[in-house]
Structure 1
């Protein structure tokens, strides 16, 4: 099986998928970051396809950045210019040709993630 990466965002404070959040994927090598993909979540809180599809998959270190600030403001969960959570980076490694799923469970003042299936 060829490897690929998917993600989704759930708004745990409201109990709904988080639509309209920009996500950037970076390949990390030491202190170097190179953006390799961008996507925006759909009404199901998912990207329309894998953020890293089979044809572009390589093992290594990666970072997903979830740009949640505008979403949290738009949904009325936070106000102001400086937010507790605005851009959320998650760094992780993929060491085998496999399906990796890295979701974000989001609230205005906390988040969690895990390796999903």
Structure 2
């Protein structure tokens, strides 16, 4: 394993099966204000810059996801839960889960996902 430490990490736990969710495709993106400066209700959608993609390991974790530092801003983690559900033989009500969160400082940000076929939750981890 490299000495690189990602500023943003995640892990996925399958609460229906009671184990880490192995093989979940994950994408980390940064959201930028629309080029025309519009925003809010009815405004232009923000621009999305993909920073990294990965797949959860045997422990359901993605430890190396993106740069070692990220500037303050709005970020998204997109989880391809349909691919995981198909591989694990479970029903899938939410084919993808997108978690949007704000980075306001240089601390490490860990954003876990608790997943089941018909529900999910998340929190600010450590």
Report TM bin, short chain. Answer: 0.7 to 0.9
User: Where does residue 85 of structure 1 map in the other structure?
Assistant: 94
- Which residues of structure 2 form unaligned runs of 5+? 34-45
Q: Aligned pair 1:10/2:13, yes or no?
A: yes
For the residues of structure 1 that align with 2:48 and 2:111, how far apart are their CA atoms?
18
Count of aligned pairs between the two proteins: 110
Q: What is the RMSD computed on CA atoms of the aligned residues? A: 1.6
Cα offset for 1:5? Answer: 0.9
Give the TM-score of the pair, scaled to structure 1: 0.87
2:27 to 13, 24, 32: 24
Which protein shows a greater Rg?
Answer: 2
- Which residues of structure 1 form unaligned runs of 5+? none
Could you give the per-residue CA deviations for residues 24-73 of structure 1, whole angstroms, max 9, x where no partner exists?
011001211111100100000001x331332x422210010000102112
Runs of 4+ with >4 A deviation: none
